[in-house]
């Protein structure tokens, strides 16, 4: 590059750096405004309505130190992970069957889609009556919510990839088992990751709903208890923790997703 060009490039680099810093500053300022507003509002409203921000910080420290938070988080995570594990298992199996065997698809798809379309909360009472009141119904709810993105994504994976990848293998004389192992399985993984990412989000919703219902253990249980006791400072702690867990898990899955496979189009499910 000529010297003039190098100079111009330096100026451009400086401009971009400034923009990045400005954006970060705006974000920090924005959150700060909220926190300050929270603190001020907390002073002017009765305690049972809203506690000032610093009270929640104290509560956070307190609850961490005395172990309540960790115990609740642990209990919640237990349920979530168990639920997600089951969802993965069931989801992959059903997704594969639906995608691979057309007749199974014809038979089962209406029920799967119907269940997916039903607001899952409607099944909560039934589930709790069947599974009891402790951990089992919570896991069941998580599964009910988390399993569908996985089924849908695996199904999409099998169906889309099916033809392009199957033909070469079949023409080379691969057996059914070989095809499942060497062609379908590796090709499915990106779709699995996408489904898992969506399942995490939905699973957490299921977790909280389940814990509301039983109100005994876990972060959801803490939340309900604090709210009903008007503990407005403590109340935000489980919420924040849930948000952090959700964000952390989703980020983890996104990271895994990118690491395992560069992404191709599957569920254009930007939201959830």
Q: What is the largest CA-CA distance in the chain?
A: 77
Binding piece for other proteins, criterion CB under 8 A, among 55-63, 103-111, 170-178, 188-196:
103-111
- Binding test (CB under 8 A) with other proteins, winner from 36, 133, 185, 272: 272
DSSP conformation letters of 191-219 = HHHHHHHHHHHHHHHHHHHHHHHH-SSHH
- Binding test (CB under 8 A) with other proteins, winner from 122, 177, 262, 265: 122
- Write out the binding residues for other proteins, residues 221-250 only, by CB under 8 A: 223-224, 226-228, 230, 232, 235-236, 238-239, 242-244, 246-247, 250
Structure-token pair, residue 222: 């803490």
- Binding test (CB under 8 A) with other proteins, winner from 21, 26, 134, 182: 26
20 binds other proteins (CB under 8 A): no
Q: Pick the closest to residue 193 from 105, 263, 139, 104 (CA basis).
A: 263
* Pattern 33-62, other proteins, x by CB under 8 A: -x-------------xxx------------
Q: How far apart are CA 158 and CA 93, in angstroms?
A: 12
Q: Are the beta carbons of 138 and 79 closer than 8 angstroms?
A: yes
Structure-token pair, residue 38: 């929270």
Closer to other proteins by CB, 191 or 226: give it.
Answer: 226
- Binding test (CB under 8 A) with other proteins, winner from 46, 125, 168, 186: 125
Binding piece for other proteins, criterion CB under 8 A, among 26-34, 60-68, 85-93, 172-180:
26-34
- Binding test (CB under 8 A) with other proteins, winner from 81, 85, 136, 209: 209
Q: Closest distance between other proteins and the C-beta of residue 50, in Å?
A: 8
What are the residues whose beta carbons fall under 8 Å from the beta carbon of 60, sequence distance 6 or more? 69, 237, 240
Q: Are the beta carbons of 137 and 79 closer than 8 angstroms?
A: no
């Amino acid at each position: 590059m000529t010297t003039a060009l190098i100079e111009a490039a330096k100026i451009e680099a400086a401009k971009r750096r400034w923009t990045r810093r400005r954006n970060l500053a705006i974000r920090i300022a924005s959150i700060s405004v909220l926190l300050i507003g929270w603190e001020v509002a907390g002073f002017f409203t009765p305690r049972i309505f809203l506690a000032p921000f610093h009270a929640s910080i104290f509560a956070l420290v307190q609850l961490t130190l005395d172990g309540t938070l960790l115990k609740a988080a642990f209990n919640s995570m237990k349920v979530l992970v168990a639920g997600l594990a089951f969802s993965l298992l069931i989801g992959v199996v059903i997704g594969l069957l639906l995608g691979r065997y057309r007749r199974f698809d014809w038979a089962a798809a209406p029920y799967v889609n119907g269940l997916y379309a039903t607001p899952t909360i409607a099944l909560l009472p039934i589930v709790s009556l069947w599974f009891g009141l402790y951990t089992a119904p919570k896991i069941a709810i998580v599964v009910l919510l988390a399993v569908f993105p996985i089924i849908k994504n695996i199904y999409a994976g099998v169906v889309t990839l099916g033809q392009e990848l199957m033909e070469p293998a079949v023409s080379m004389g691969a057996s059914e088992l070989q095809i499942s192992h060497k062609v379908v399985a590796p090709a499915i993984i990106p779709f699995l990751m996408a489904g898992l990412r969506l399942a995490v989000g939905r699973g957490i919703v299921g977790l909280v709903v389940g814990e509301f219902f039983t109100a005994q253990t876990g972060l959801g249980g803490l939340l309900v208890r604090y709210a009903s006791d008007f503990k407005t400072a403590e109340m935000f702690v489980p919420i924040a923790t849930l948000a952090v867990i959700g964000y952390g898990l989703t980020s983890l899955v996104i990271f895994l997703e990118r690491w395992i496979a560069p992404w191709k189009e599957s569920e254009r499910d930007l939201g959830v």
